[in-house]
Structure 1
Amino acid sequence: MSDQSATDAEHLPPDLDRVQRALVEWYEADHREYPWRQTEDPYEILVSEVMSQQTQLDRVVSAWRDFLEQWPTVDDLAAADRGDVVGFWTRHSLGYNNRAKYLHEAARQIVEEYDGEWPRDPEGLSELMGVGPYTANAVASFAFDNGDAVVDTNVKRVLYRAFDVPDDDSAFETVAGRLMPEGESRVWNNAIMELGGVACEKTPACDGAQCPWREWCHAYQTGDFTAPDVPTQPEFEGSRRQMRGRVVNVLDEYDELALDDLGPRVRVDYAPEGESGREWLRDLVTDLADDGLVSVDDANGETTVALDR
């Protein structure tokens, strides 16, 4: 067995098709609506990628729109005065001004050296000034659906937690490549980055974000949410994970309980109308019901919860 095959077999679930479908369906059902996700224009995508380097995405939105209003096309940017481009970058607090210079130079390359025709793969795009491997792959993926599996810090964190992939760049690349459905880099790379951005952040929101990989996730099953960029394990005492476990343990003993009878057995400070009260508990058991662990019945004005055996 080759090293790659061994890595796949060790870290990927056997039902890989289900894993892939679960992530794509989760992403397509609901995701953050950034404007550059609505375009396949390589120029607009390149601008968003360069602006997003070490800058929070929510801050990039207005700058990206302002930039494209001033220079709507790659020809417009190529013809612009470089000082104007750098000045824009500074006014919008977009970080190192060299990024503005490189973006302007890349636009000139497209117009003058490529006759306006964009390279369509990561290798060709990496020939543009200031475009490194990650950015080249992003543009190839999102503009042309012709990229490789993205492997950034967020994706490494997802793979480390979900499939117990070791903290090794080669292993991350191998597993990420095997996970991505062939020929679907646009939706897949968007989806897995979204997963790392809203569900598998440094402080995970597995249930709140309805992470589609909870069924397979090593971290979710063990409660260990450390990762390469998360060196200490999040506090367990009082956590949502602990409370979920208490609900299941209580129902294992009592089989079925009304919501307000269940609450005090889950936490001693339960008060129906309080912060950790009926609304909080209803949200918790709804998550467990979505995972197929409990059933919730609303009848005769009372909510009862039972273990789904």
Structure 2
Amino acid sequence: MTDVADLPDDLPAVRTALIEWYEADHREFPWRETTDPYPILVSEIMSQQTQLGRVEEAWAAFLDTWPTVAALAEADRADVVGFWTDHSLGYNNRAKYLHESARQIVEEFDGEWPTSPEGLQELMGVGPYTANAVASFAFDNGDAVVDTNVKRVLYRAFDVPDDDGVFEATASELLPAGESRVWNNAIMELGGVACGKTPRCDEAGCPWRAWCHAYEVGDFTAPDVPTQPSFEGSRRQFRGRVVRTLGEYDELALDDLGPRIRVDYAPDGEYGREWLRGLVDDLADDGLLAVRADGDSSERDADGDERVLVSLRR
């Protein structure tokens, strides 16, 4: 039996927090407003290779053209493939499989949809992930969905090792019995809104911050996110401070800017004038700052060198 990662002791609280977060506010996609397996299957097939924002328009147009599974089954396959191509929905085989699946539902299953992941996998081109998604969202009868977003969430939140078996076992342990529809929607939403490649923990009000390992230690790497240097104390952090500080002033000399962005600034120290000039020059190269020498010969820095003045480029 595959090991399950260590999870918080109070799993009911973990589950409740995520579901309440999702139900309070989530992205509204039309396929989330139905339990009809046909439009849900169409959305799942389309979204395999296309961003959700683009899927919405294509999905609506597809259902306008073939509003029921019976209508799709009766369609000319060339028309279905042509639609797929016209809407840049990826490999045309997916259109062929979707059309064939519709025919199977009508001709082999007498219009009755399988309701389990295993049954749905009998449809042409429907693999384990898609079958489970349709079983979850149409029939509330699925297992835990484990996609890239869900792996990222589990890896960060509960320090789950990068192992497919452990991901699946842990996701199954977290899934509340009989609630696959809301749960799978919620954890996928968490990965898409709050725990993306660039995390938005506080901005999105992530409901798992109290338990999240990554939030505690400040390391948000994940299987699909390369290791990044810590933001705290990084050049990125101080570049941002330079820009914010200069937003409050028309112009500052280096020695006046330094203490405002770093408390241990010392003109001749490790984090002094040379270090700061490097940051400033980088920002100037990026077109964000203007750097000029002070034309007033009476104005010199502590070493008697000509002062350098810095301002935002507006």
TM range (shorter): 0.7 to 0.9
Q: TM-score, normalised by structure 1?
A: 0.76
Q: 1:76 to 1:12 in 2, by over 3 A?
A: same
Structure 2 partner of 1:87: 82
Residue of 152, 155, 177 corresponding to 1:157: 152
Q: 1:145 to 1:269 in 2, by over 3 A?
A: same
* Aligned residue-pair number: 246
* CA drift at 1:237: 3.6
Q: 1:175 to 1:165 in 2, by over 3 A?
A: same
Residue of 204, 207, 219 corresponding to 1:209: 204
Q: 1:11 to 1:108 in 2, by over 3 A?
A: same
- 3-state SS, counterpart of residue 11 of structure 1: coil
Q: 1:122 to 1:274 in 2, by over 3 A?
A: farther
1:85-119 per-position Cα deviation (integer Å, ceiling 9, x unaligned): 00000000000000000000000000000000000
Residue of 111, 119, 125 corresponding to 1:116: 111
Larger radius of gyration: 2
1:223-282 per-position Cα deviation (integer Å, ceiling 9, x unaligned): 11111111212551478xx89xxxxxxxxxxxxxxxxxxxxxxx677669859xxxxxxx
Residue of 173, 183, 204 corresponding to 1:178: 173
1:27 and 2:5 aligned: no
Separation in structure 2 between the aligned mates of residue 91 and residue 235 of structure 1, nearest angstrom: 44
Separation in structure 2 between the aligned mates of residue 273 and residue 237 of structure 1, nearest angstrom: 21
* CA drift at 1:11: 1.6
Separation in structure 1 between the aligned mates of residue 82 and residue 210 of structure 2, nearest angstrom: 49
Q: One-letter code of the match for 1:27? A: Y
Separation in structure 1 between the aligned mates of residue 112 and residue 169 of structure 2, nearest angstrom: 31
Separation in structure 1 between the aligned mates of residue 105 and residue 246 of structure 2, nearest angstrom: 63
- 3-state SS, counterpart of residue 151 of structure 1: coil
Separation in structure 2 between the aligned mates of residue 89 and residue 174 of structure 1, nearest angstrom: 36
Q: 1:39 to 1:230 in 2, by over 3 A?
A: same
* CA drift at 1:54: 2.0
Contact conserved, 2:219 with 2:230, CA < 8 A, in 1?
Answer: no
Map 1:219-238 → 2, pairs under 5 A: 219-233=214-228, 235-237=230-232
Map 1:226-265 → 2, pairs under 5 A: 226-233=221-228, 235-237=230-232
Separation in structure 2 between the aligned mates of residue 112 and residue 268 of structure 1, nearest angstrom: 68
Contact conserved, 1:149 with 1:180, CA < 8 A, in 2?
Answer: yes
Structure 1 partner of 2:192: 197
Q: One-letter code of the match for 2:10? A: D
Q: One-letter code of the match for 1:32? A: R
Q: One-letter code of the match for 1:175? A: T
Separation in structure 2 between the aligned mates of residue 62 and residue 238 of structure 1, nearest angstrom: 44
Q: 1:218 to 1:25 in 2, by over 3 A?
A: same
Q: 1:16 to 1:97 in 2, by over 3 A?
A: same
How large is the RMSD of aligned CA atoms in angstroms? 2.1
Q: 1 or 2, which has the higher helix percentage?
A: 1
- 3-state SS, counterpart of residue 85 of structure 2: helix
* Structure 1, 98-107 or 199-208: larger mean CA deviation: 199-208
Separation in structure 2 between the aligned mates of residue 74 and residue 35 of structure 1, nearest angstrom: 17
Separation in structure 2 between the aligned mates of residue 185 and residue 157 of structure 1, nearest angstrom: 19
Contact conserved, 2:116 with 2:142, CA < 8 A, in 1?
Answer: yes
1:107 and 2:107 aligned: no
Q: Gaps spanning 5+ residues in structure 2: where?
A: 250-314
Structure 1 residue runs of 4+, over 4 Å off? 267-275
Separation in structure 2 between the aligned mates of residue 84 and residue 238 of structure 1, nearest angstrom: 57
Contact conserved, 1:226 with 1:234, CA < 8 A, in 2?
Answer: no
Q: One-letter code of the match for 1:224? A: D
Map 1:267-306 → 2, pairs under 5 A: none
Identity %: 76
Q: 1:67 to 1:268 in 2, by over 3 A?
A: closer
Q: One-letter code of the match for 1:63? A: A
* CA drift at 1:127: 0.3
Separation in structure 1 between the aligned mates of residue 155 and residue 165 of structure 2, nearest angstrom: 13
1:60 and 2:55 aligned: yes
Q: One-letter code of the match for 2:200? A: A
Q: TM-score, normalised by structure 2?
A: 0.75
Q: One-letter code of the match for 1:211? A: C
Structure 2 partner of 1:41: 36
Separation in structure 2 between the aligned mates of residue 108 and residue 269 of structure 1, nearest angstrom: 61
- 3-state SS, counterpart of residue 91 of structure 2: coil
Separation in structure 1 between the aligned mates of residue 232 and residue 87 of structure 2, nearest angstrom: 42
Structure 2 partner of 1:74: 69
1:139 and 2:170 aligned: no
Contact conserved, 1:203 with 1:234, CA < 8 A, in 2?
Answer: no
